[in-house]
Amino acid sequence: MTSRKERSKEKRRHKNRFLPYLIGVFMIIIAGGFLVYYMLQKDANNLTEMSHIREIGTNGILPQSTKQPLPKEEPVMETTIKISAAGDFTLGTDESFGYHGTFVHEADQNGLSHFVGGLKDVFKGDDLSTVNLETTLTNATRKAEKKFRFKGDPSYAKILSLAGIESVNLANNHIHDYLQQGYDDTMTSLKNENIGYFGYDHKYVTTIKDVKVGALGYEGWADTTEIRSRISNDITELRNQGVELILVHFHWGVEREYVPTQSQQTLARFTVDNGADLVVGHHPHVVQGIEEYNGKFIVYSLGNFMFGGNRNPSDKDTYVFQQTFHLQNGNLTDKKEIKVIPFSISSLTNRNDYRPTMLEGKEKERVKQKIIDVSNQINGSDWLQYEVKN
């Protein structure tokens, strides 16, 4: 029989015989684990590299970040442009009036500053002022064959700059009172004072706060196909020049009539429909009403203002119309803001001293109500909601 000691040795020999196999299996498992880890890590690196390759641009430069920057919002730039308009400026007289009590007499006695003393800088506080220059500024002597022929000394152009007025309408029935020479001299006189002008073939364009503003002027005695064509073409021409704001002056209507004619109304509305931003008128020598039409304002007659054509007119009421236009990034918005400023054409009630004077108190209220009343004879006075309170 085999002894216990021998049996024990036999068991140890049996175990030792399998030990190399166990160690080999264990080593294989460890090596396999390392291999799997290596392959997984390689695949991860390959994926990362491929992702980076896809992100590299055509210039071969790896972007700093894969995130796309958000588009920047354009800042909103608010701009306001205040435009003033007034009626007839007859800076002179008709030689048939004689001398005493005329515009020329007043200028000789009191100097040119006399005429602007009652304005309270109304035209200096805006961005652009426009009026109707209903006279010639010339030393010419040859006259047109007509009843009234107005002229003033060329130096009277200085009155406009003293007042703060930058531009004038020439399209009226007195600008050629001294024929072509008088007309040419008038434009020269204006240029010498850096006063712009418009009307007929002349267009006025200026830049205010980086915004182009333009003005046009017409004699609008009748609403005809011819004048409509001119207006449409002129507005298109200004728009093509990048003009954002367009003001149109009309010399039209019937003298001493407080309600505009039908042709005034249809022509004004056509002008708005074709792109005008503000329409103003003159010639009747009295005020006519204001209309809001398709979001724009039509001021049918501003009346006289600094008027050397009459020593003592029975109706001395007038006004300055102001509109403040609001723009965003150079584009006109729908925001409306207006101001009606009642004036008298004279600082005196018993005669005309040609010194327009801003009204106060009851006289101011009276003229304002008059403008409301004549507006209600056209298309109401809804424009009052846009008026800035004084």
- Give the per-residue SS3 of the chain: CCCHHHHHHHHHHHHHHHHHHHHHHHHHHHHHHHHHHHHHHHHHHHHHHHHHHHHCCCCCCCCCCCCCCCCCCCCCCEEEEEEEEEEEEECCEEHHHCCCCCHHHHHHHHCHHHHHCCCCCCCCCCCEEEEEECCEECCCCCCCCCCCCEEECHHHHHHHHHHCCCEEECCCCCCCCCHHHHHHHHHHHHHHCCCEEEECCECEEEEECCEEEEEEEEECCCCCHHHHHHHHHHHHHHHHCCCCEEEEEEECCCCCCCCCCHHHHHHHHHHHHCCCCEEEEECCCCECCEEEECCEEEECCECEEEECCCCCCCCCEEEEEEEEEEEECCEECCCCCEEEEEEECCCCCCCCCCCCEECCHHHHHHHHHHHHHHHCCCCCCHHHHHECCC
| The pair of three-digit structure tokens given for residue 231, joined into one six-digit string | 């207006």
pLDDT at 73: 73
| The pair of three-digit structure tokens given for residue 21, joined into one six-digit string | 């196999």
pLDDT at 148: 96
Residue 150 pairs in a beta bridge with 94
Task: Provide φ and ψ at 287, rounded to 5°.
Answer: -80, 145
pLDDT band at 138 (very low <50, low <70, confident <90, very high): very high
Task: Provide φ and ψ at 275, rounded to 5°.
Answer: 120, 0
Best CA proximity match to 290, nearest among 220, 387, 359 = 387
Statement: residue 66 has pLDDT above 80: no
Q: Tell me the pTM.
A: 0.82
Best CA proximity match to 307, nearest among 148, 92, 85, 154 = 92
pLDDT at 317: 98
Give the residue extent of every domain in the chain.
1-72, 78-386
Average pLDDT over residues 110-129: 98
pLDDT at 167: 98
pLDDT band at 358 (very low <50, low <70, confident <90, very high): very high
Contact predicate 325/313, CB 8 Å: no
**Pairing of the two strands 211-219 and 204-208:** antiparallel
| pLDDT > 90 fraction of the chain, expressed in percent and rounded | 80
Range of lowest pLDDT (44-58, 60-74, 303-317): 44-58
Statement: residue 45 has pLDDT above 70: no
C-alpha to C-alpha distance for 373 and 384, rounded to whole angstroms: 12
Statement: residue 14 has pLDDT above 90: no
Residue 129 pairs in a beta bridge with 84
CATH superfamily of 78-386: Metallo-dependent phosphatases (3.60.21.10)
C-alpha to C-alpha distance for 325 and 312, rounded to whole angstroms: 36
pLDDT at 215: 98
Pick 187 or 19 by higher pLDDT.
Answer: 187
Burial of 200 (0-12, 13-18, 19+ CB in 10 A): middle
C-alpha to C-alpha distance for 281 and 261, rounded to whole angstroms: 12
The tens digit of pLDDT for each residue in 238-261 reads 999 999 999 999 999 999 999 999
Average pLDDT over residues 175-187: 98
Read off the amino acid at residue 390. Answer: N
Average pLDDT over residues 201-207: 97
pLDDT at 50: 45
Average pLDDT over residues 135-144: 98
Contact predicate 286/301, CB 8 Å: yes
Average pLDDT over residues 122-134: 98
By residue count, the chain amounts to: 390
Average pLDDT over residues 174-179: 98
C-alpha to C-alpha distance for 376 and 317, rounded to whole angstroms: 18
